[in-house]
Amino acid sequence: MPLGRGSRSPWAASPPTPETDPWGTALSGPAKRVTIRDVAKHAGVSVATVSRTLAGDYPVQPSTRHKVLRAVRELDYVPNAQARALSVASPGAVAIVVGSVDMPYYAYIAQGVEEQAAAERRLCLICTTGGDKERELTIVQMMREQRAEAVILVGSVVVDDDYRERMTRYAHGLDSSGSRLVLCGRPPLGEGVPALTVGFDNTGGAHAVTAHLLSAGHRRILYLGLRPGHSTSDSRVAGYRSALDDHGIPRDPALEVPCGFDRSSGYAAMKQRLAAGHDDFTAVFAATDVIAAGAVQAIHEHGLSVPDDVSVVGYDDVPPAEDIGLTTVHLPHAELGRAAVRLALSGKDPLVEPPLTLGTHIVVRQSVRRLRSAP
């Protein structure tokens, strides 16, 4: 029932009436039931601290939380759920900002964020940008106004001077309001910016899967997914190039093909390349598994087979990688999301906390053929 004018909030620390305590717990008989004031007195803390501890919507020291919960058990205090539901929501939400929820890469990380937020008794808000930097900046500002406890930005972004300046300003604004900005799967904004970073060895994974092709005898490896300035693409192509360098294979810019990070782009780019002839490469490193899926479709439509005619590898280990037998780089998606939430709520200083980097590994399936001439 809504509170009328002059009514007290069910969370208010007002003296109990003979019928109910401040949380709306009904009293039976002449003896009063335990109130929130009784718990506060027993634990040696304020009524507000008890409310925050029981609601789980505000940081409380572990020792204080232990004292409050012990008092609750010893006094057998039971809050009234209906009264608590009528209270005004307090800050404590964890917001995750992704490009899209229909891409497995984002969806799996978001799942990890939601799972950890639930474990921490936080509400999880999922926001999408469609890859629009302006929308991402607007969402971050909105989350500050809504007093979100943490804002987690996921995935790649093209960072220009304007974006960096504005996001740096927003990071300071979040920090001053007690919130935390977490960059998940993207590089730090720079020294002096109060933002935590959680990522994975993007370059190392690309190096490893390229080296896997090289060890199978492939020397002309097409990189499909070049997007200059795009942080994820830049780090993956860097791993591709460094593997070629380490094996003494000359780089050929003509083998680095621009392509969006979706299936239709992979299909179109590969179809165009095959129409111009495929004799100049024996293998394809697709920057994502969904690019690889589009490329495989185009290869099959061209009358070729994978891996007999062309070997293909991907990156991310998301559907449809297993379905098409794609060798790829596995990312710990869910753990990235969980780690981002844990770090955001840890209370660690973002100005001194080093980036947290999780490992990657290759998943070998059936999409790579060893060349007969391979050593």
One-character DSSP codes across 187-204:
----TT--EEEEEE-HHH
15's tokens: 């003296």
CATH number of the 94-200+333-358 domain = 3.40.50.2300
The 124-128 sheet, strands edge to edge = 124-128, 94-98, 150-154, 180-184, 195-200, 356-358
User: For 30, which DSSP code?
Assistant: S
CATH class given for the domain over 202-331: alpha beta
Q: Name the CATH topology of 11-87.
A: 434 Repressor (Amino-terminal Domain) (1.10.260)
**Helices 263-275 and 289-301, axial angle in degrees (round to 10):** 40
Q: Tell me if residue 332 falls in helix, strand or coil.
A: coil
Task: Sort strands 256-258 and 221-226 into parallel, antiparallel or unpaired.
Answer: parallel
Is the CA virtual torsion 238, 192, 358, 57 positive or negative? negative
* Rounded to 5°, angle at Cα 155 from 180 and 195: 25
CB-based contacts of 49-56 (< 8 A; 24+ apart in sequence):
51/11, 52/90, 54/79, 55/84, 55/87, 55/90, 56/92, 56/120, 56/121, 56/122
Q: What's the CA gap between 50 and 21, in Å, rounded?
A: 14
One digit per residue, pLDDT tens: the chain, 375 residues?
Answer: 444 434 443 333 334 444 443 334 343 444 456 888 888 899 998 887 888 787 765 677 888 888 888 888 888 786 654 444 334 334 479 999 999 998 999 999 999 999 999 999 999 999 999 989 999 999 999 998 888 999 999 988 888 889 999 999 999 999 988 899 999 999 899 999 999 999 999 999 999 999 999 999 999 999 999 999 999 999 999 999 999 999 999 999 999 999 999 999 999 999 999 998 778 999 999 999 999 999 999 999 999 999 999 999 999 999 999 999 999 999 999 999 999 999 999 999 999 999 999 999 999 999 999 998 655
Q: Where are the domains of the chain?
A: 11-87, 94-200+333-358, 202-331
Q: What's the CA gap between 350 and 359, in Å, rounded?
A: 22
What global pTM score does this model have? Answer: 0.74
Q: Which residues contact 98 (CB under 8 A, 6 or more apart)?
A: 106, 109, 110, 126, 127, 128, 129, 154, 155
* 216 in Cβ contact with 369 (< 8 Å): yes
Domains 11-87 and 202-331 share a fold: no
| Length reported for the chain | 375
